[in-house]
Amino acid sequence: MKSSIPASFRCSCSRSTLQSVGGRSRRHASTSSSASSTANAPTPSRKARWLAIAFVSVAAASGGAYVRAQSPKSSELNPETFTKYCLVSREPVSPSSSLFTLRPKYPSDSNYDIYEEAWRAGVWSVMFKQPQLQIGREYTPLPTTAATGLSVDEENEGYLRFFIRKDPFGEVSRYLHTLNTGADIELRGPKIECAIPEETRKILFIAGGTGIAPALQAGYSLLNRTTSTNRPQIHIVWASRLRADCLGGVSDTLNATTQVSASGSWFSGWFGSSSNAVHDGVDTRVSSPQEPSLIVRELEALKSQYPGQVTVDYYLDEENRFIGKQDLAQFIKPVGGGEDQDIHNLILVSGPEGFISYMAGPKVWAQGTELQGPLRGIIKELNPKGWAVWKL
């Protein structure tokens, strides 16, 4: 820890101390006898007293460090240090993803307020630590809705839930999927990924895979601003590899018959082709007899809470149904107005790097910081005048 003493003061103090000690040494050398030197030497009792003082000091410092570690402040989620959480449950959502439920290891009344402030701001994340490799990965908490199954007490105690896919190349996600119930997980945050301006009236959220979690956050933050005179809207376009991820989901705006895309999915270059569940352009969008997946229940709860303000369309690589330029064109229409006009429309893109690059161009790194980079991809081709675009 750096000293708060000014550098100039520290230097002058050190020099004067060294000169004083040197002067005393020289005086003792010229005026003191060997007997007086022996008389001034520490006695065994004085040595024991100094050892006792040193021991007490070390013990006090150690005790203080322990108390600080167990203090309420150490149990509050914060962006500076990692806070310990406990894994309450890990429920499979699909063959490759799970729902993680965590609670703070040490109770703190402040966590609920910390979460709420982040929810009001917009889209936010927390960093998970992989302790063996000392690396981190940011994940987006799911908002608390009727579908989450959390009780009021659990909400007040600071429970968090995450939709996490097991990436075969992801060190952190693979580590998380090895943990058993009760394991400690260290989190740091919150980090505001995208602050949604107060003037926002419409959001088009394009999500790939687990990028749906930020879409739920954006919907939660935006729709909570609903009043009698302000009814913001959000349309979510969700591309998944597997039907299991969005089991029971039925699109709101797609035509009754959807043509199979000839271009293939952005997933193809990363994972290879999927099964041919759909042939000859036949739409197989039917309600599944099985219980809808957790994320679909979340989306339906949001639609029930804000009728007429939320719409969702599902695209499945497994069924050869991919997001194309024409699918987005009906939503991304240029908005008139001058350069200084307030932008009330927002396009958010979230998902794996390949998905973001395909839709809006890649993000870039410069001087150790990740930047948005120029707008490219399908969205650029649609000339989104009057729309702000943000890559998550």
- Please state whether beta strands 345-350 and 202-208 pair in parallel, antiparallel, or not at all (unpaired): parallel
Q: Which two tokens stand for residue 350?
A: 């979230």
Write out the binding residues for FAD: 137, 139, 172-173
**Binding-site residues:** 137, 139, 172-173
Tokens found for residue 227: 């009043």
DSSP for residue 320: T
339 φ, ψ (degrees, to nearest 5)? -65, -30
Assess whether the previous peptide bond of 190 is cis (omega < 30° from 0).
yes
Report, in this order, helix, strand and coil percent for the chain, each rounded to 5: 35, 25, 40
**How far is the CA of 313 from the CAs of 236, 238, 239, 327, in angstroms?**
6, 6, 9, 10
Candidates 143, 138, 327; CA nearest to 218 is 143
Residues 309/236, Cβ–Cβ less than 8 Å: no
